[in-house]
A and B are shown apart, each in its own frame.
Chain A
Amino acid sequence: MENIEFDKILRDRLEGVTEAAPDVWEGISQGLARRHRRVVMRRFSMAAVAAAAGLAIALLVIRDPRDGKLPETPVRTAHALQQEQPAAETPAVDVLPIQKQIAAFTRNQVTAQAVVEKPADMAVVPPMVSEEETVATAETAETAETPETPAAEEVRDQETQPSQDHLLTEADLPAGFWTAEDEAISRKTHTSNISILSNLTTVGSDNDLIYKASPMHSSSQTGNRASSMVEPYSDSPKFFSPLSLGLQVEIPIVDRLSVSTGLTYSYLVSQYDMLVDKVLYEGAYNQLHYVGIPLTLSYRFVETPHFGFYVSAGAAAEKCVSQRYVFGSNVLHEKVGGLQWSAKAGLGAEYWFVPRFGLYFDPSLVYFFDNSQPFSIRTQQPLQARFEVGLRFKI
């Protein structure tokens, strides 16, 4: 019998052969339940992060002193008013004692209106009052016409006496209060920013890797991956959340629109079984270090002195400057060619504690293109949610 004939007979005999399998369903159902729990936990974690982010934004909005609304008329601080009104012409301005002013600042979260109460010579739009209030005011006026006792008059004089000593100056303001100059800075939309950022990217799914036998085998492991002497070999790779740090400069282009660029560093760690020169190592680590240049356009659709909301979109090019495999007690370095390109879009919020210094939160979706980069969360899960937070300085 020829070999070919033997092979054919063997193939025909074993083709589609069936045999009662041992009952492993219980193990399968337990395994499925474990995987389901893992997926649920991961989704729950992502939802929790999103909720926390939303809560943080909401808290920032609530804490905004102006509640996001700017007064129609220019804000006047005590300092500004002092400069506007010559001392000789200073009318009888009702000024609260300094302690009351500070208390008012604290209680009302400081607006200029709380500092100086209606100077007499200022054209003030009369507030709308009800009929009852009008009657009450008339009664008060009548009462005011009655003679006062000397003691009461003295007290009243002390309280209403206009005095430069009692006017609130910038020096009197507690630390962190905004001055007229601060207000001017905060209103400047054409201001460049420097940001120090850090971000965390979520790992959204299991992304189990199946070892693919030919013809699927190595079909997608091209480029740097093909030239590597290391091959991923695992049905359950573990990816740690990538971490990035960076420094960016934001430059205004036109009103509300700005462009930012800078330098970022990203660190990616994966753990999986790998074949190193055809030898299997279980639970080995791969560490990737990327340095990148992002370019982002931002449009601020809400902009107040303390607060800003914006949408942003952009792209980034990143170069892997170091790749390291750690298996057993061995360490292997491999060079990585090419660039990792990515595109992102997101929403952002910024909060200025003081005119030149603020905090921002920038959740976004990032898509990593297939540029034959080493096996990592970016190749297995190209679309990722990123949560970036940072400090921002106006220059």
Chain B
Amino acid sequence: MLYERYSSVMYPVCVRYLGREEARDVLQDGFLTVFDKIGTFKGEGSFEGWMRKIFVNASLMHLRKADALRYTEDITESPELGGVMEHGVMEQIGTKEILDLVAQLPSGLRSVFNLFVLDGYSHAEVGAILGITEQSSRSQASRARSLLQEKIKKLYNGKH
């Protein structure tokens, strides 16, 4: 069954865009859209990739409705934070913890970071999706990366 097969794959996608609480609602909406539009899948690319796009869209729509993306484009500066990440740190952090740390980023930065770094969109595409400039997308991705590295280091230092 489609739901049983893919719910555990799509849930983390929603979590990194929205956090665990809101991911639940979007997971439901996303599956409704999948069932509704499944006839439009033309077999181009993987089915999982097609589904992932639907859940990414559903997550972004949820953020837009909550007005969480409205001020995304206001941030154009990207002060560097945290310095350089040491090798070996990432191996000490669990995947679930990384997922939660990504979800803790501010919503605007989180969306840019997810789209660019994790879902493979170009800055031009991220700009078109979120309605911001390409430069703003670059700046926000950089800022989000620095914030995330800072959080990872804090978690790592807490463990050791």
Contact = CB atoms under 8 A, between A and B. Distances in A.
Nearest to A27: B28
B3 A25 contact: yes
B17 to A, nearest CB: 11
Interface of B: 3, 7-12, 15-16, 24, 27-29, 31-33, 35-37, 53-54, 56-58, 60-61, 64-65, 67, 70, 84-87, 89-90, 95-96, 98-99, 102, 115, 117-118, 121, 125-126, 128-129, 131, 142, 145, 148-149
A212 interface: yes
A32 B24 CA distance: 17
Contact of B61 (A6, A11, A235, A278): A235
Contacts of A6: 85, 90, 145, 149
Contacts of A210: 33, 37, 54, 57
Nearest to A22: B24
Contacts, number: 118
A217 interface: yes
A280 B67 contact: yes
Given A28-B35, A215-B125, A233-B64, 17 more contacts: A1-B86, A6-B90, A10-B148, A17-B99, A21-B27, A22-B24, A24-B7, A27-B28, A28-B28, A32-B35, A211-B57, A213-B53, A213-B57, A217-B129, A233-B61, A235-B61, A280-B67
A14 B99 contact: yes
Contacts of A235: 29, 33, 58, 61
A222 to B, nearest CB: 14
A214 B27 contact: no
Interface range for A: 35 or more
B22 to A, nearest CB: 12
B118 to A, nearest CB: 6
B120 to A, nearest CB: 8
A17 B52 CA distance: 13
Nearest to B60: A213
A260 B10 CA distance: 56
Given A6-B145, A217-B128, A21 B8 contact: yes
A172 B60 CA distance: 78
User: SS class of chain A's interface: helix, strand, loop or mixed?
Assistant: loop
Contact of A22 (B27, B87, B89, B126): B27
27 contacts: A1-B89, A6-B85, A6-B145, A10-B90, A13-B95, A14-B12, A14-B118, A17-B95, A18-B12, A19-B11, A20-B8, A20-B11, A21-B8, A22-B11, A22-B24, A22-B27, A32-B32, A208-B33, A208-B36, A208-B37, A210-B37, A210-B54, A212-B57, A214-B129, A218-B128, A275-B131, A279-B70
Given A1-B87, A210-B57, A213-B57, A14 B29 contact: no
A228 to B, nearest CB: 14
Nearest to B20: A22
A156 interface: no
A13 to B, nearest CB: 5
